[in-house]
Structure 1
Amino acid sequence: MVLNLLSRYIEAGAGTQLPPERQLAAEFGVSRNEIRKALARLEADGQLTREVGRGTFVRAPLAEQVSELDTLQRSTSPREAMEARLLIEPELASLAAINASYKQIETMQALATQMRHAKTWEAYEQYDGRLHCLIAEAAGNKLLAAVHGIVNDVRRAVVWKWLDTRPSGPPPDYSSFDEHDAIIGAIEKRDRAGAMDAMRRHLRTTSDKLIGSPG
């Protein structure tokens, strides 16, 4: 329902700025939590982008993006996707340790907690994707965040389907839980080197589960 109501803003075209969550909740007669979930879903689907200090904006229609993105998804191997992540995401984590707001850090911690309680891999993937996108956003560099967005879209298409998702959800001792905590902890401490190293270790673990370390 909320997604349908938000469609009027999506249809207004790329660059359209959405009202604040509080205003949207009042306009549609729903809770801010419902608005927040719907916005997160649209962001994950590539229809919205959130910019720190500016607001939420409509991205270019997927039809305009799909050709190039589809080509990348079809031609990129899991190894290439992980190599790209290893080059970009540790630096983003390092920058986030300097620039992340306290609210962003609190949201990172909340997402990490939600991942620990995820009952399905689908739910875990959504929280995981939001966490990594939030770290990229918190880095405070729009160009790097945009590059990360492309890498993340490709990663979702070519990496997750290779992971072993048995049983139906992540086990209680899933390695990524502690790895995410380490990344967020370093960001909270404003430890650039620690955040970079923690992100690199996390991505190497993911890579090893897929194909062995890309180097």
Structure 2
Amino acid sequence: MIAIIDYGMGNLRSVERALTHVGATSVQVTDDPAVIDAADRVVFPGQGAVRDCMSALHRYELVDVLGRVMQDRPFLGICMGMQALMTRSEENDGVEALGYFAGTVRHFRTLTGGSPRLKIPHMGWNRLSQTRAHPLFAGIDPGTRFYFVHSYYVEPADNAIVQGESDYGAAFAAAIGAANVFATQFHPEKSQAPGLRLLKNFIAWDGEPCN
């Protein structure tokens, strides 16, 4: 069973439909820690502000179960679900996040030097450079475009977790991962065939990274 974590933020039904479309036979959108604990795979989607995300996770008492499931089963974070895995975010005057990965979430003006030529949020299709081989990239050509909507990007403390990069004025981490955890800044559920292939790869993934 795949649990999609419902904390009141994100295109949950779009993710559910996409997973079902690529062959998932049991998908449950849930805010129940017991159901999430029992899942074989977990998807952590999201959009909006990190302050609201963290507030909702605490309100729904999901922080502890998130910590548990990230230890031992295939786990996919999407958009805000990627940013919330970092130590902290500059958004909303600074917010402590889950801290699974060391690093900071920064506004794009930090990356681009405030260039007025680049519109923020970064919205639309952009190329993904696969910086490391990963089972979730199987069958996806290097340089394939995925769909993004975000004003903030993650800056990991350790570049070894960066699985893919995109460029918007400068390069930024668009996919990160280690062990059984993988996360994307882009929205696979909105990325047509390449995004569906990534989700199909996720439902077949045993949680082991490439050697």
Normalising by the residue count of structure 2, what TM-score does the alignment of the two structures yield?
0.28
> Which one has a bigger Cα radius of gyration?
1
Higher relative contact order (CA 8 A, sep 6+): 1
Relative to total residues, which structure has the larger strand share, 1 or 2?
2
TM-score, with length taken from structure 1: 0.28
More helix by share: 1
